[in-house]
Amino acid sequence: MIFMVNDTSSIENSNIQNQYDSSTTNFYSDFKFNLPSYNKVNSDLKDSSNNLNVYHQNIRGLSGKLSQLSNILYYELPHTVCITEHHIKDFEMDMMSIEYYKPGTKFCRQLYKNGGVCIFVHESIAFDIISTHCICKEKDLEICAVKINLSKIKIVIITIYR
């Protein structure tokens, strides 16, 4: 299996550059699938591509940047979206939504401001939440994880801040 990461930038204070800003991870293996087009979302993945696209963004505050994030995701349509430094409280995160994505899992700070991590999973992908709250410590280790269930393989996606 080949693991490839390309890290370029982060969204700063609602100031999105015209060029593509993201961290993209592609996994190539013996499994094949792709995301449906943006306009027509299928419930099943189709077998026509050899990659799993994982998008990561250190967003430094998600609440005011949802539309900008959606615009970026429109072109890439990743299978999972991993966010660090979302700066959102637990009850606010439960109300967050990104079109075509289900909230996968999250860690939100209770005592301190800012920080936090979350994972959104494309609505056509089956997944299980991996419990990580027992190892999280605010300002030291903020982590969340999901297990993606594909027909032939299971992949664990972990998002870590700090």
Q: Could you read off the pLDDT of 81-129 as tens digits, one per residue?
A: 999 999 999 999 888 889 899 999 999 999 999 999 999 999 999 999 9
pTM given for the model:
0.72
Angle at 50 between CA 128 and CA 158, to 5 degrees: 35
Please tell me the number of Cα atoms within 13 Å of 101 on its side-chain side: 24
- Contacts of residue 26, Cβ cutoff 8 Å, sequence gap at least 6: 4, 51, 52, 53, 54
* pLDDT for the residue 50: 60
* pLDDT for the residue 52: 83
What is the rounded average pLDDT of the residues 39-46? 37
* pLDDT for the residue 46: 45
Q: How many CB atoms lie within 10 A of CB 18?
A: 5
pLDDT of 68 above 80? yes
Largest interatomic CA distance in the chain = 46
Collapsed DSSP state (helix, strand, coil) of residue 8: coil
Q: How far apart are CA 89 and CA 140, in angstroms?
A: 17
pLDDT of 71 above 80? yes
pLDDT of 67 above 50? yes
Identify the band that residue 38 occupies on the pLDDT scale cut at 50, 70 and 90: very low
pLDDT of 64 above 60? yes
Give start and end residues of each alpha helix (H) in 30-162: 66-76, 90-93
* pLDDT for the residue 20: 34
Partners of residue 27 on adjacent β-strands: 3, 52
User: What does DSSP assign to residue 104?
Assistant: E
- Decide if 49 contacts 73 (C-beta within 8 A): no
Higher pLDDT, 53 or 23: 53
